[in-house]
Amino acid sequence: MKLGIPTGRSLTVLEGAVIIAGTSIGAGILAIPVASYPLGLPLSSILLLGLGILNLLSALLLVEAMLRTKKVEHLPGLAKDYLGDWGALLISASMAFSIYGALTAYTIAGGLSLCELSVGAVPQWLGSIAYAACAALVVWGGMWWLKNAEKALFSLMLLLAAAVILIALPFASAKGTGIAFSAIPLAFGVMFFAYYAHQVIPSVGNAMRGDGRKFAKAVAFGMSFPILAYLVWNVVLVSAIPVADLDLARLGGEPVTVPLGRMAGIVAMVVGGIFALLSTFTSFAGSAYSMVDAMQDAIYQWRHAKSSRTFIIILVVAPSLLLALLSPHGFLRALDIVGFYGTGMLIGVFTPLIYLGALKNGKRKPGFAVPFGKAAAMLILAVFSAALAFKTVSLMFGWGA
């Protein structure tokens, strides 16, 4: 099946998987240990694995829905086809909230990383501006720049992640802490955020020329890798970093690389800081690119005319930069709220509803179908709806932190 004929060479399965995994692994990996350590390693690992599998299923449902649709469309277009005008409006608002919130968190973490790496010589606000400007340049360069930047940075990011784990391993030890169930809402929100990469799937599908099986393989590989990476990362860092340092990071809304650097010294600070910088940068570029694509599509459908890509990039990057400058310590809280009410809605509510609509009203036979897809969609809806309801009640009554 062909989703469209993009200019240039089609992406390979590996290239598509790298873009998806690079978009997923960003600020979330820096926050998972800080958000989930009060739950203890067994429970936090079970939650990471379970939510990762549900996220993978949701992404494959989106692939099938796209392959059942005749024309190339991003999430708002798919929602309009299968959920109506209100569905398109709601998913557009949720996507905008999710991506703008994510870009804000990435920019905060990027500015903080540059500040830490320069030992304060570069203030956080200036680091955030430089970070956002570099990411905007990659997005402006188009899919070729994005593809090559993601490939190069993702490879380096994997090496740095391995280095961080090796640095932390000698400090790792079993911790007999109790389980603080009040931490579940924050852990859920951060995990929802950490796994999300649905926004870039339509762009990857289009650039892969829509071969259904290749597209599904790229999504499956791209969404599976973060599950393993997060499990190993969380176990090692929670075991290594003292609870008191994790408490400080939680209170200050810091990425986990900051308490690691305080504990393990200058080498850990440098390696961790560079890893934090690159992991958020790949996510920023992928998310911003998909948002620019979606906004250009929406403007074209509304005005039937092309829009300035540079102007759209400014509309995408500038608000998140402003929010980051106004809230330099809002990293963890941004991931929590965006994780639930942005990415959680997109992964667990809108995507299965779009799939069910495509299953009923799709206009062509897909080149790939999810086994027991309807049952998977209903399971995802049930789990995420219950989690969203629990989060809302916890906010109303002030449970958790």
Which pLDDT does position 218 carry in this prediction? 92
Tokens 């997923």 found at: 24
Which pLDDT does position 6 carry in this prediction? 38
pLDDT per position in the chain (401 positions), as tens? 333 323 445 788 888 898 888 778 877 888 999 999 999 899 999 999 999 999 999 999 999 999 898 876 778 888 888 998 888 888 888 888 888 888 898 899 888 888 888 888 899 999 999 999 988 887 887 766 666 766 777 778 888 889 999 999 999 887 655 677 778 888 888 999 999 888 888 888 888 765 778 899 999 999 999 999 999 999 999 999 998 899 988 888 888 988 988 888 888 888 988 888 888 887 787 778 877 877 777 676 666 666 677 888 888 899 999 999 998 888 888 888 888 888 889 999 999 999 999 999 888 888 788 889 899 999 999 999 998 888 888 777 766 55
H-helix or E-strand spanning residue 110: helix 75-117
Which pLDDT does position 269 carry in this prediction? 85
How is residue 74 annotated by DSSP?
A: -
Which pLDDT does position 383 carry in this prediction? 93
Domain ranges of the chain: 13-397
Nearest to 286 by CA among 336, 226, 350, 344: 226
First to last CA, the chain: 47
Q: How far apart are CA 39 and CA 34, in angstroms?
A: 11
Tokens 């990057």 found at: 317
Which pLDDT does position 152 carry in this prediction? 73
**264 neighbors 167 (Cβ within 8 angstroms):** yes
Nearest to 136 by CA among 20, 329, 309, 335: 309
What size, in residues, is the chain? Answer: 401
| DSSP assignment string, 130-194 | HHHHHHHHHHHT-HHHHHHHHHHHHHHHHHHHHHHHHHHGGG---------GGGHHHHHHHHHHH
Which pLDDT does position 7 carry in this prediction? 40
State the CATH class of domain 13-397.
mainly alpha
Which pLDDT does position 4 carry in this prediction? 36
Which pLDDT does position 349 carry in this prediction? 93
Tell me the per-residue pLDDT of 68-114, one tens digit each, with 9 for 90 and over: 988 767 788 888 889 988 888 888 888 888 888 888 988 998 888 88
Nearest to 343 by CA among 104, 106, 109, 97: 97
Tell me the per-residue pLDDT of 249-258, one tens digit each, with 9 for 90 and over: 888 888 898 8
Instruction: Count CB neighbours of 401 within 10 A.
Output: 15
Residue 38 C-alpha from the chain's centroid: 23
Which pLDDT does position 301 carry in this prediction? 63
